[in-house]
Structures are given as C-alpha cells and as structure tokens.
Amino acid sequence: MAGRKHPGDGDTASRILDAAERLVQRRGFNGFSYADVAAELDITKASLHYHFAGKAELGEALIDRYANRFTEALSAIDSRRSDAPAKLAAYANLYTRALRDERMCLCGMLAAEYQTLPQQMQTAVIRFFDDNETWLRHVLEVGSDEGTLSVSGSPSNTARLVISSLEGAMLVARPYGDVARFQAAARQLIASLVARSPAPTA
Amino acid sequence: MAGRKHPGDGDTASRILDAAERLVQRRGFNGFSYADVAAELDITKASLHYHFAGKAELGEALIDRYANRFTEALSAIDSRRSDAPAKLAAYANLYTRALRDERMCLCGMLAAEYQTLPQQMQTAVIRFFDDNETWLRHVLEVGSDEGTLSVSGSPSNTARLVISSLEGAMLVARPYGDVARFQAAARQLIASLVARSPAPTA
DNA sequence: GTCTATAGGCAGATAGAC
DNA sequence: GTCTATCTGCCTATAGAC
C-alpha cells in the first residue's frame, strides 16, 4: 500500500495492460503489436508471452479489466444520488475523459474490428454493450418515473441510441482532434432527453 | 455499353476497388492484405501493384470513389423533391444498405483506424465527413424553414450529431449482426428532429 | 520473470520474363 | 497486364539459458 514511484506503476501484468490498452484505443487491435508494448515497457517481446500466452488472451484480459472499471465507474455515478439528467451527463463524461487522451472507447474500437477478432474477444465486446444498455435503460426508466426525463422511444431503444450516439460522436471527433465536437453532440443528445418542465409531481 | 457478364465485372482496377472496398468495410484497412484482394480476383499480388502502386494509393482511390458515389447518392436524394424528413430517412437508408451487406461505412471504419492511416487517406476521410455535414446542414436548414423539422441546436451541431449517431449505430449494430437495431436508432433519431405539428404556414 | 536466439509465416513491395 | 521469383522486414510465438 506504500506509495508507488509514479502513476503508471504496478506489477508487470498491469503495466502491460496499461500500455496495450492505450495502444488499442488509439490504433486498434490490428494496429498494434507485441513489439510496440515491449518497447514502451523496456522489456522484450518474449517476456510478454510469460504474462499473456498470446495476443488473443491479452485482448481478452484487456476487455475484462476495461469492463470491470466501467462497471465501477457506473456504480460510482449511482452512489452520488443525483437525478437522471446528471447521471447521463456523468456517463457522457466518461467518454470525454478517454477522448481527452486521444483514445476511442476500447469496445467501440473493437466493434469496428469485430469481424477480425478472436471469438473470446467478440463475446466480451457484446457483453460490454449489453451491460451499458442495462445500466442506461435503468437510468432512463427512473428518469421517466421522476419526470426529469422525457423518453419517447422504448427505454431499451433509447438506451441503445444513447450508446450509439456517444460512440459515434467519439469516432468522428477523434479524426478532428476535437473534444468540443464530442461534447456538443453529447450535450445536444442529453438535452433531447431532458423533460422540458419540472417534475409533474410538483 | 453492352451487358456485362455479371454485376461484379468491369475493368481490373474497378474490380480491385470493389474487392478492397468490401474488405475494408468489413475488416478494416489494417485487417486486409493485398493477398486477400488477389485471392478474390484470382490474380497475383504483383498484378495489384501495376494498378495501385501501394496500399496507401489503393486506400486513397478507395475513399475518392466512395466519396464520389456518396455525393451522387445525395444528389439523387435532392432530385426527388421530397420534404426534409423524407430526405433524412433516405440518408439513413444509405447506411442501412451497407449494413445489410455486413459493411461499416467506409469512412466510419477508417475513422477508427485514423491514427494509423497514411496522411493522404486522413485528409480524404475528413473531407468526406465535412461534405456530409454540409449536405445535412442544408437539409436541416430547409426543413426548419419549411416547418417540417424542429432543430433545437445549431444546424451545424445537429448535422454533426446526425452523422455521429448514424455512424455509431452502425458501429454497434454490426457486432450484433442486427440491421433492425440500426433502423430503430435511425428512426428514433429522425423522429426527434421532426416537427410535432404541420408546417406553421398552414 | 526476463533474457537471447530463432523459428515460421505473412506483410508490402520490386525485378524482370512473357 | 499478368506472371514467377524473390527480397526485406515485421509479425506472433517458442525453446531454453540465466
């Protein structure tokens, strides 16, 4: 528990995951190699194979850790007892943070490369989107009940539209290197879901 | 002008572009090789280099042809003299057609891989999105004037949101192999832009 | 756990015959 | 225009010393 030398520290497996995650989010799973990771960590390619048998196993571990962190982040949002619009804004903010570091959402990137991924990774990508949809659907349902949101489609379809729109806004904003472009899209998307008048219970 | 043997025919350069386009839309620019294209056309890799000096040149030609066809499709939509909501639906339909063939939008795919692309391709990808934004902005402005659309944000930002949402909906729908998922998102997106009552001029 | 060394394959690309 | 043959380089992965 003592302080680490610097933020990037941790055991070797974690540092490999850190470097690989950044590379995949920036360049894609087919756009990085073991050599890239090894160079960043100043170890050899052979050492990587001690920690992760192959690229498929590394990729799977990448998604698992990413999905777990995302789940934690969603729990943290839930624990803040804010209203539904604020939760949606906090959700969009997760994407903003990645984009600031010039990263695409890991699973958004992998969705593009889906047809070339090993089967284990494909399954994990789907699970990520399903989990996000479930969380968002719940937020939308509560917001509708509260009267803070005005959801026109089904909660499921609306949750899917939110995920899609945010992923797409990231995808398009990145070539422009323009975080503000993403934020404008996210704000407008959320605004379209916020009820125009105060809660009807008032 | 005489009939061709089968739909995929044309001169060799066109057939190379056809095969490469399909491969890139399905697997990404970093997910296909000259060998893949050569195998599909039953020619050798060396022959490909006669038509396109290198992968970068092939990639650039791919985007140029794709963008030109897209421009033609947008002109065709304009020539139909329909109202703005119908134009938006027709626009979304362009994406649906690609998805039915298990393809991502070419430039959406390349947006994901943007950081690994040769510079000439990067420029062409940006141009594609800019052109789409210009066309959509015009549709949104006309629709607002007509009273058929109710655009809350600026036409520019709304155009960007439409592109982003459709690209994202494609991106996410593809892993599920579910065209209906895309269509539901597109319908809900367009519905959120359609004015609730008839034109105020009535 | 990390290394050196190397296997075996595929990548994009070129030379030169036909 | 298309071929065969080949090059160089990088890829993932493994064996085995330390």
A-chain residues within 8 Å CB-CB of B173? 164
Q: Does domain A9-193 have CATH number 1.10.357.10?
A: yes
Q: Which of residues 153-182 of B touch strand D (CB under 7 A)?
A: none
Dihedral angle of Cα B61, B66, B69, B75, to the nearest 10 degrees = -120
**pLDDT per residue as tens digits for the range B88-104:** 999 999 999 999 999 99
The string of DSSP letters for A153-185 reads S-HHHHHHHHHHHHHHHHHHHHHHT-HHHHHHH
How many angstroms separate the CA of residue B3 from the nearest CA in chain A?
A: 35
Task: Read off the pLDDT band of A5 (50, 70, 90).
Answer: very low
Q: Give A34-41's long-range contacts (Cβ < 8 A, gap of 24+).
A: A41/A12, A41/A15, A41/A16
d(CA A30, CA A33): 8
Task: Read off the pLDDT band of B7 (50, 70, 90).
Answer: low
A194 — phi, psi (to 5°)? -80, 130
Residue A68 structure tokens: 């777990």
Residue B132's nearest CA partner among B151, B115, B107, B114 is: B107
DSSP 3-state of A194: strand
**Looking at residue B47, what is its pLDDT?**
98
Residue B83 structure tokens: 């109202």
CB contact under 8 A, A28 and B169: no
Protein-covered nucleotides of chain C (CB closer than 7 Å) are 1-6, 10-16
Residue B145 structure tokens: 């004037």
For residue A151, CA distances in Å to A51, A158, B132, B184 come to 46, 7, 28, 14
The pLDDT mean for chain A works out to 94
What's this model's pTM, rounded to 2 decimal places? 0.95
**Looking at residue A47, what is its pLDDT?**
98
Domain boundaries along the sequence of chain B: 9-193
Q: If contacts are CB pairs under 8 Å, which of residues 122-141 in chain B contact chain A?
A: 122, 125-126, 129
**Residue A3 zone, left/alpha/beta (φ > 0; ψ -120 to 50; rest):** beta
d(CA B46, CA B43): 8
How many angstroms separate the CA of residue B15 from the nearest CA in chain A?
A: 23
Residue A149 forms beta bridges with which residues? Answer: A194
Task: Read off the pLDDT band of A133 (50, 70, 90).
Answer: very high
Task: Choose from B171, B174, B183, B190 for mutation: most chain A CBs within 10 A.
Answer: B171
CA of A83 to C1' of D12 (A): 49
Residue B58's nearest CA partner among B82, B78, B39, B38 is: B38
What mean pLDDT do residues A176-184 have? 98
